[in-house]
Amino acid sequence: MRNYWLDDRKEMLFRDLIKQFFYAYLFFNQLKEEYQKENRIPFSKLDYWVGTEIKKGALWQIKDSAHILFRNPISEREIFEYLFDWTLGSIFHEAMKLKEDIYQIEAYSLKWVRAKKLKVNPKDIEEEISIIVNNAKKNLREEMKRLDYLFEKAILRLHKILPLHNKNFLLIKFLIEEEMLLEKVLGEKALTRILKITFPENQEEKAFLMAEEGCVKKGRIQNALFILQRGRRLLPDSIAIKKRLNELKN
């Protein structure tokens, strides 16, 4: 039985998934920077990022969205979409382990402080707490390395699947309008590189014309002008973009 609900929303869900993934990548980089400076990560940040079954965080939502898009047994699946989904799921599960280890570090460190305030001799529990905390800290280092690797792997796999979605107006519009976000995640001139991957054989101008046409159909003329102006900046030799920009202005 065909999933018409998914068919109607697939382009929007994919656009939203990519957006959520970019922000998750930036959040991880902040965690990594904090860990390198302070040698610790607050549990509250992992709790916010991962969430719970009842109150799902960004990573939980990304994992669920990827499963909906790429694990539907009715739809056809490309191998790199499957691998992208697998990588996002691995990021989620690795972050869950990281969250648990950070909890253990904070919880047992607090127990140690409380033991010192009680009549109990702290030495009676010192060895046990030391083993638990040191193991958790060792795990934390390995989990951060693993997450770093998985995020980079996910970006490589994203490059592989973008050409499969080059007719997704919402995705292309997002990529063009969020050029600064792309550069934060993928580096300088990221939009140019992404469009070359998504529209091979020097057909990048299709991206701007498609996004502009979609905006015009929805009555968003200012958005359409913004997209064409960005196209003129990145592809100054495109006659088609220049022509369409002049038509829209007039």
pLDDT for the residue 2: 61
Question: Residues 6 or more apart from 13 whose CB is under 8 A from it?
Answer: 6, 65, 68, 69
Per the CB < 8 A criterion, the answer to whether 62 and 88 are in contact is: yes
What is the reported pLDDT for 74? 45
Shortest CA distance to 72 belongs to which of 116, 162, 133, 10?
10
Q: Output phi, psi for 51, to 5 deg.
A: 85, -165
Query: Beta-carbon neighbour count of residue 152 at 10 Å?
Result: 12
Helix (H) or strand (E) holding 182: helix 179-186
| Crossing angle between the packed helical segments 58-70 and 43-50, to the nearest 10 degrees | 30
* Torsion angles phi and psi, residue 65, rounded to 5: -65, -40
pLDDT tens sequence for the chain (250 residues): 567 677 778 999 999 999 999 999 999 999 999 999 999 999 999 999 999 999 999 999 999 999 989 876 544 557 889 899 999 999 999 999 999 999 988 887 766 555 555 555 656 677 777 788 889 899 999 999 999 999 999 999 999 999 999 999 999 999 999 999 999 999 999 999 999 999 988 789 999 999 999 999 999 999 999 999 999 999 999 999 999 999 988 7
Contacts (Cβ under 8 Å, ≥6 apart) of 188: none
- Contact of 225 with 248, CB cutoff 8 Å: yes
**pTM value?**
0.89
pLDDT computed for residue 116 by the predictor: 54
Beta bridge partners of 51: 56
